[in-house]
Amino acid sequence: MSATASARIGRPPARKVKKPAQNLRKQLAENERLFRETGCLFGLKTLRRKQADPGTYEAVWHILLNTMDAAWEVGCKVSASPIAAEGGDALWGLHLPTGEAVCASKGITAHPGVLSIFIRQLIEMGYEDYPGIRPGDVFENNDPHYGGIHAVDFDGAIPIFYKGELVAWASAVSHVMDGGYITPGSIGFLNPDCFSDGVPVTMERVGEGDRYYPWYEMRIRSRTRVPDWVMGDARGRLAGCITIRERVIQLIEKYGLDYFKDVCREYIEDSRRYATARVKTQAVPGRIRKSNFKDLAMAGKRVILPHQHIDCLFNLPLEVRIDADARLHISMKGASGWVPFGENIHPSAIPSALLNAYSHIVGFDMFNWGSVATWNLETPPAGSWANPFPVNYYASSGVSWAPTVMWMSSLYEAFGRLYFARGFIEEVAAGAATTLTAEFSGTNQHGMFVAGLTLEQASNGSPARGMADGENSAWCIYTPNADFGNAEVLELYYPVMYIGRNIEPDSGGYGKFRGGLGHTAVWMVKNTPGIEYQCGCAGMRSKVTANHGMFGAYPTWPDRASYASGTNVKALIEERKPLVHERGSPEQPNLAKNIRAEVLETNVVAPFVTPHQLHEYDIIIHPISGAQALGDPIERDPARVKADLDAGWTRERVAAEVHGVVAHRNEQTNEWTVDEAATARRREEIRQARKARGVPFREWWKQEREKILAKENMAAAVLDMWRSATALSPDYGKELRAFWNLPEDFAF
């Protein structure tokens, strides 16, 4: 990467430059050698400072952790956009001079990886030599070609010098409200190529003396739609970084530079040891495989370029092999091809996704770069969505998280299975929920043009546990700090009114333990000449469900949104008639029952942008998914089913037909009573019915093989997916053909 990247940077050949003071590039190579030769990061076979004085070691760690969270508080308060200021979609970190993250704030836990790689790239590209790294400098990157995830995540870093020596970096990332994409907002799934990926900041020094250059601000002003918010967020990032720098210098003065340098490296090695030990003491060696798929059905919808009128299905395969040393070997063999949408990702951003998952399920104690040293990630197939640039250097990464977070979800289930096998049932988590985003663009009630994200998607249900249901609307795959923001605050920014924000019944899959339920937001458009609603994909499924039927559960349903425009809502309000505050039945939705409208869509396959503007009194119903369930649904404790019936969190049909629970509602009290004897009989009938309708696998395998050969009932997107997956990973294709006993030259 670095040679190509350096060549692209271009350096003035004749200019004399000052020799680097520290030669960080050499230090990077030395770090790698030490790890290779000793198996310990930085060659730290013993944690000397920890052993000598564990109390101070822990105390300093907590000072650093508090410093990061102080930076988060300062940064989010200085930031302007609701996504940072209200939702905290940001992160601040501290890094070694060579880039490895030491400590991170709360927030989006994927980013310590991206920020580490960003700083590392600055060093590998020789920035220490030219253009130089000086006190007060501000560097930024949002370019996926150089390790950024997607353009709206602005990665920033400032060097921390102490007595003339670069001793650390402070870093920050925030997700800005508008990336300058062709369509307003920040979830650029529609972007056909990188030329539509908005305003680029490519490994740049964007300021000095703790200030942004004027031309940086001029670029933001001319190339984003909400520049006050975008620049406000830039100042928030910088303010948080300066907070870190000031406090780290205070800490060095108190504990000494040598101590600071030593413990920072020890914290990273300590984290590596923790993640390794957790695998060795709580998991089992072997091979885990998990298929997963996601759709992106865009044929016939509003797109940017004509060739985007296609339906896509992504193959998101995960294979993990855990060896005797508890090291993970992770493969994405079988990943399908790049897509002409903003859903491709640079491979160097994938460790960040893994770090994100690790922050939830494996390496969350002393969370930093250390976990990265516990796995080997095989380079994803060249030309796949996970490594597009070798084949299409101009592939878009507008919302590259979309397939990646869904791939990552398989790691939750994988580790859930491992923890289950070892008996750590309290650590088991089923698969994750999806991320269906809602963005608005248009003129708001203050006369300001707004473009950007609501925070609804940051509050999914949490995955079912090994011995309990997940929690409702309290979890988010990309951050441990799930927060969907206050409705009243969001109403200040966007010209909509919440007329509903409800727990969605049965949205957590069906199992012995269900996933936490998601919720549905119902908005009425108000105080605007017109807005567009973008029901976006930051990791959703709408044609298929997740492959998360863990231990016999049914996965959560696909994400489908609803809206109505040209409605009679104003008249209904004046007549004091019922509006729509929740989705209602999947077959007879409340929108269709209560509202009359010129356009009334109750089951729209996501993602999409409304084909025309929405106006006063139009209605949007936006669902946020629950998480995945676990276990055979007919083993669900009838008392749990009753509790869900009483709370309105499940429906009678699901209770009876899926869980096999016979219950009756008391019309007066509205309370349900379970008929235990009838429930036992119903469940036995279900078991017998399964045995009667199930066929021996071998018999089905023969029949299915014929259907595959005939490509029977296989959507074009499915065939396209198999074609690219098997071509880009020939071994994967060979195994697939062998399983179905297909001819070696068989092509989908």
For residue 395, state whether it binds another protein (rule: CB under 8 A).
no
Token code pair at residue 518: 């998601």
CB atoms within 10 A of CB 277: 14
Mask of contacts with another protein, 586-605, x by CB under 8 A? xx-x------------xx--
Residue type, 15: R
Q: In sequence order, what are the beta bridge partners of 205?
A: 139
What does the alpha-carbon distance between residue 342 and residue 400 come to, in Å, rounded to a whole number?
A: 6
Window contacting another protein (CB under 8 A); options: 45-53, 150-158, 370-378, 509-517: 509-517
Helices 227-255 and 257-282: crossing angle in degrees, nearest 10, is 110
Answer for which of 120, 501, 548, 622 binds another protein (CB under 8 A) is 548
Answer for which of 33, 700, 730, 747 binds another protein (CB under 8 A) is 700
Answer for which of 255, 364, 424, 498 binds another protein (CB under 8 A) is 424
Residues 288-307 that bind another protein (CB under 8 A): 288-291, 293, 295
Pairing of the two strands 165-175 and 153-162: antiparallel
Angle formed at CA 187 by CA 171 and CA 144, multiple of 5 degrees: 50
Q: In sequence order, what are the beta bridge partners of 293?
A: 315
List CB contacts of 284: < 8 A, sequence separation 6 or more: 322, 418, 421, 422
Establish whether the linkage from the previous residue to 403 is cis, with ω within 30° of 0: no
What does the alpha-carbon distance between residue 237 and residue 294 come to, in Å, rounded to a whole number?
A: 33
To which residue do tokens 């339906």 refer? 311
Question: Looking at beta carbons only, is 248 or 606 nearer to another protein?
Answer: 606
Question: Looking at beta carbons only, is 21 or 421 nearer to another protein?
Answer: 421
For residue 426, state whether it binds another protein (rule: CB under 8 A).
yes
Token code pair at residue 522: 């119902």
Q: What is the per-residue DSSP string for 522-548? A: EEEE-SSS-EEEEEEESS--SSS--S-
For residue 554, state whether it binds another protein (rule: CB under 8 A).
yes
In whole angstroms, the minimum distance from the beta carbon of 604 to another protein comes to: 9
What does the alpha-carbon distance between residue 542 and residue 603 come to, in Å, rounded to a whole number?
A: 10
For residue 632, state whether it binds another protein (rule: CB under 8 A).
yes
Answer for which of 266, 269, 427, 644 binds another protein (CB under 8 A) is 427
Question: Looking at beta carbons only, is 524 or 621 nearer to another protein?
Answer: 621
Q: In sequence order, what are the beta bridge partners of 321?
A: 287, 329
Instruction: With residue 440 as reference, give the H or E element that holds it.
Output: strand 436-443
Q: Identify which of 370, 336, 366, 333 has the alpha carbon closest to the alpha carbon of residue 351.
A: 370
- The number of residues making up the chain comes to 748
Window contacting another protein (CB under 8 A); options: 86-94, 229-237, 506-514, 573-581: 506-514
Pairing of the two strands 619-624 and 211-212: unpaired
Answer for which of 9, 284, 377, 487 binds another protein (CB under 8 A) is 284
Answer for which of 422, 446, 570, 612 binds another protein (CB under 8 A) is 422
Answer for which of 423, 529, 578, 730 binds another protein (CB under 8 A) is 423
Answer for which of 599, 643, 715, 727 binds another protein (CB under 8 A) is 715
What does the alpha-carbon distance between residue 469 and residue 639 come to, in Å, rounded to a whole number?
A: 13
In whole angstroms, the minimum distance from the beta carbon of 304 to another protein comes to: 24
Residues 667-696 that bind another protein (CB under 8 A): 686-688, 690-691, 693-696
Residue type, 467: M
Window contacting another protein (CB under 8 A); options: 122-130, 231-239, 392-400, 733-741: 733-741
In whole angstroms, the minimum distance from the beta carbon of 698 to another protein comes to: 6
Question: Looking at beta carbons only, is 208 or 637 nearer to another protein?
Answer: 637
Residues 646-665 that bind another protein (CB under 8 A): 653, 657-658
Answer for which of 332, 345, 553, 569 binds another protein (CB under 8 A) is 553
For residue 285, state whether it binds another protein (rule: CB under 8 A).
yes
CB 442 within 8 A of CB 612: no
Answer for which of 707, 730, 731, 747 binds another protein (CB under 8 A) is 707
What does the alpha-carbon distance between residue 140 and residue 118 come to, in Å, rounded to a whole number?
A: 8
Token code pair at residue 298: 């865009």
In whole angstroms, the minimum distance from the beta carbon of 620 to another protein comes to: 15
For residue 360, state whether it binds another protein (rule: CB under 8 A).
no
Question: Looking at beta carbons only, is 459 or 547 nearer to another protein?
Answer: 547
List CB contacts of 521: < 8 A, sequence separation 6 or more: 438, 454, 456, 498, 500, 501, 620, 621, 622, 624
The secondary structure of residue 428, as a DSSP letter, is -
Window contacting another protein (CB under 8 A); options: 41-49, 123-131, 397-405, 558-566: 558-566
Q: In sequence order, what are the beta bridge partners of 161?
A: 166
Answer for which of 673, 680, 739, 747 binds another protein (CB under 8 A) is 739
Question: Looking at beta carbons only, is 163 or 698 nearer to another protein?
Answer: 698
For residue 22, state whether it binds another protein (rule: CB under 8 A).
no
For residue 575, state whether it binds another protein (rule: CB under 8 A).
no
Residues 301-340 that bind another protein (CB under 8 A): 313, 322-324
Residues 25-44 that bind another protein (CB under 8 A): none
